[in-house]
Amino acid sequence: MFEAYHGVTAAEHQARFNQLSASGYRMISLSVYGDPPGVRYAAVWVQRPGPAFAAVHGVDATGYQGFFDTWTAKGFAPVLVSAAGTISDAIFAAVFEQGISGAWQAYHGMPSGPAANPGTFQAFNAAAQAAGQILRSAAIYGTPADQRFAAVWHPNPGFVKGHVHPSETADGYQTVFDAETQLPGFTLHAYRPAYVAVSGYGTYCSIFTDDVVGPWVARHGLTAQQYQAEFNAQTAQGCYPICVQGGGSGAATRYAAIFARQDVPAPRQWSVTGAQIPALGAFGQHAGHVHLGGIPE
């Protein structure tokens, strides 16, 4: 079971949090967007057991850092982070969970720039990938002239491959989307959008991965009405939103969403195919073809 909402105020989001968390739901997607202080929230919750979690919303950078320090000291790690506004008035929202095993990284206030420049989002992403980590959640805020990022990288024990695209216009993101999801020779194993964040000025930060959640549909550049229509159509087909992110305010608000029948990627499976050759038996114990579980029909 899932619950999803968008375009709600901070007070409405808090009321939903109180109700849903008490009923055994947990957030899998969180977005704050709009112009501070009148920001809006979108979230997706699923009803299932899991580790303890804590969440914060409506805080500035100092408040977010304080929450971060308090809860990481208790053994929690950020799993979702979102931000809206300019650098001086940015509002943050986040979810932290207990029990994340392995090394992780999280930063906010990162500028955009070459990976060779220390302190940039691209540099932190390159370092995380080199450390065997993968982007879990990201937000893009600030202004077009001074973009800032908040992001979380988690351990990647399954060696999922991921391509991160820090900042694309709507047209640029469509080009990226087409290239990632239609890789030549990879009809079944093409990359999928795993997370897409939207800035208040219409740029997209995304990661495409090669893991599998079964059939999926992704849309971006949607008005509130278009998103609701897509939501209705996809849920009627048995899908639900696994990532919903908003950007902009009022009539200029635009949404990016990913729909699927499951939000947890299928585990990778190994199998060996081909004729057995006794003389190569020892070698055969270490060779085979990789097959991903959960390939869409």
Close Cβ partners of 297 (under 8 Å, ≥ 6 residues apart) = none
The CA-atom distances, in angstroms, between 49 and each of 23, 88, 99, 200, 221 are: 11, 38, 13, 34, 33
SS3 letters across 133-146 = EEEEEEEEEEECCE
Q: pLDDT tens across 156-166, in order? A: 999 999 999 99
Q: Which two tokens stand for residue 37?
A: 């202080």
Query: What global pTM score does this model have?
Result: 0.88
pLDDT in tens, the chain (297 residues): 999 999 999 999 999 999 999 999 999 999 999 999 999 999 999 999 999 999 999 999 999 999 999 999 999 999 999 999 999 999 999 999 999 999 999 999 999 999 999 999 999 999 999 999 999 999 999 999 999 999 999 999 999 999 999 999 999 999 999 999 986 655 455 899 999 999 999 999 999 999 999 999 999 999 999 999 999 999 999 999 999 999 999 999 999 999 999 999 988 654 444 455 555 444 444 333 222 222 222
Q: Please state the domain extents for the chain.
A: 2-267
Angstrom distance (rounded) from CA 107 to CA 121 = 9
